[in-house]
Amino acid sequence: MTTRPGQVIANADPGAILAARADEVRAAIARVVAGGCFVLGPEVEAFEREFGAWLGAPFCVAVGNGTDALEFALRATGIRPGDGVVAPANTASATIAAIVASGAQPILCDVDPATMCLSPERLTDLLASPRGASARAVVPVHLYGHPCAMAAIDAAVRARGLVLVEDCAQAHGAVAGGRPAGAWGQAAAFSFYPTKNLAALGDGGAVVTRDRDVAERVRGLRQYGWRERHVSADPGGRNSRLDEIQAAILRVRLRYLDAENRRRRALAERYFRALEGVRCPPRPEGADQAVFHQFTIRISNRDALVARLAEQQVVAQTLYPVPVHRQPAFHACAPAEAGALATCEQACAEVVNLPVHPALADGDVDWVATQVLAWVREGGPGREPR
Ligand SMILES: *Cc1c(COP(=O)(O)O)cnc(C)c1O
Q: What is the pLDDT of residues 346-376, one digit of tens each?
A: 999 999 999 999 999 999 999 999 999 999 9
**Is residue 95 within 6 Å of ligand 1 at its C-beta?**
yes
How far apart CA 134 and CA 107 sit, in angstroms, is 9
Distance, CA of 70 to chain centre: 11
Q: How far is the CA of 95 from the centre of ligand 1 (A)?
A: 7
**Is residue 91 within 6 Å of ligand 1 at its C-beta?**
yes
Q: How far is the CA of 253 from the centre of ligand 1 (A)?
A: 18
pLDDT at residue 80 is higher than 90: yes
What is the residue with the minimal CA distance to atom 6 of ligand 1?
66
Q: What residues contact 150, with CB distance under 8 A and at least 6 apart?
A: 140, 166, 176, 177, 179, 181, 184
The answer to whether the beta carbons of residues 59 and 52 sit under 8 Å apart is yes
**Is residue 140 within 6 Å of ligand 1 at its C-beta?**
no
At 116, the pLDDT band (50, 70, 90 cuts) reads very high
**Is residue 294 within 6 Å of ligand 1 at its C-beta?**
no
When pLDDT is averaged across residues 258-264 and rounded to a whole number, the result is: 98
How far apart CA 139 and CA 126 sit, in angstroms, is 14
Q: What's the whole-number average pLDDT of the chain?
A: 96
Q: What is the pLDDT of residue 68?
A: 98
What is the residue with the minimal CA distance to atom 7 of ligand 1?
66
Q: How far is the CA of 1 from the centre of ligand 1 (A)?
A: 38
Q: What is the pLDDT of residue 159?
A: 98
Look at the alpha carbons of 69, 74, 80, 83 in this order and tell me if their dihedral is positive or negative.
negative
Q: How far is the CA of 386 from the centre of ligand 1 (A)?
A: 32
Instruction: Looking at the CA of residue 204, tell me the nearest atom of ligand 1.
Output: 7
- Strands 187-191, 163-167: pairing kind: parallel
How far apart CA 289 and CA 259 sit, in angstroms, is 14
When pLDDT is averaged across residues 35-56 and rounded to a whole number, the result is: 97
Helix (H), strand (E) counts: the chain? 12, 13
How far apart CA 239 and CA 106 sit, in angstroms, is 24
When pLDDT is averaged across residues 149-174 and rounded to a whole number, the result is: 98
pLDDT at residue 382 is higher than 60: yes
How far apart CA 177 and CA 207 sit, in angstroms, is 21
Q: What H or E segment, with its residue span, contains residue 80? A: none
Q: How far is the CA of 191 from the centre of ligand 1 (A)?
A: 6
**Is residue 218 within 6 Å of ligand 1 at its C-beta?**
no
How far apart CA 118 and CA 180 sit, in angstroms, is 17
- Strands 205-209, 59-63: pairing kind: antiparallel
The answer to whether the beta carbons of residues 260 and 56 sit under 8 Å apart is no
Q: What is the pLDDT of residue 236?
A: 87
When pLDDT is averaged across residues 87-104 and rounded to a whole number, the result is: 98
When pLDDT is averaged across residues 376-386 and rounded to a whole number, the result is: 80
Among 104, 111, 196, 203, which residue's Cα sits nearest to residue 149? Answer: 111
| DSSP letter assigned to residue 344 | H
pLDDT at residue 5 is higher than 80: no
Question: What digits encode the pLDDT tens for the residues 178-235?
Answer: 999 999 999 999 999 999 999 999 999 999 999 999 999 999 999 999 999 999 998 8
Question: pLDDT over 90 for what percent of the chain?
Answer: 94
Q: What is the pLDDT of residue 1?
A: 47
- Three-state SS at 354: strand
Neighbours of 341 (CB within 10 A): 26
pLDDT at residue 23 is higher than 50: yes
When pLDDT is averaged across residues 280-284 and rounded to a whole number, the result is: 94
Q: What is the pLDDT of residue 242?
A: 98
Q: What is the pLDDT of residue 385?
A: 59
**Is residue 90 within 6 Å of ligand 1 at its C-beta?**
no
Its pTM stands at: 0.97
Among 93, 87, 78, 94, which residue's Cα sits nearest to residue 118? Answer: 87
The answer to whether the beta carbons of residues 242 and 219 sit under 8 Å apart is no
The answer to whether the beta carbons of residues 204 and 250 sit under 8 Å apart is yes
Q: What is the pLDDT of residue 235?
A: 87
- Type of residue at 377: R
How far apart CA 360 and CA 11 sit, in angstroms, is 10
Which of 65, 67, 197 to mutate for ligand 1's pocket (most ligand atoms within 8 Å of CB)?
67
When pLDDT is averaged across residues 95-123 and rounded to a whole number, the result is: 98
Which of 74, 91, 191, 246 to mutate for ligand 1's pocket (most ligand atoms within 8 Å of CB)?
191
When pLDDT is averaged across residues 139-160 and rounded to a whole number, the result is: 98
pLDDT at residue 3 is higher than 90: no
Q: How far is the CA of 189 from the centre of ligand 1 (A)?
A: 9
pLDDT at residue 384 is higher than 70: no
pLDDT at residue 2 is higher than 90: no
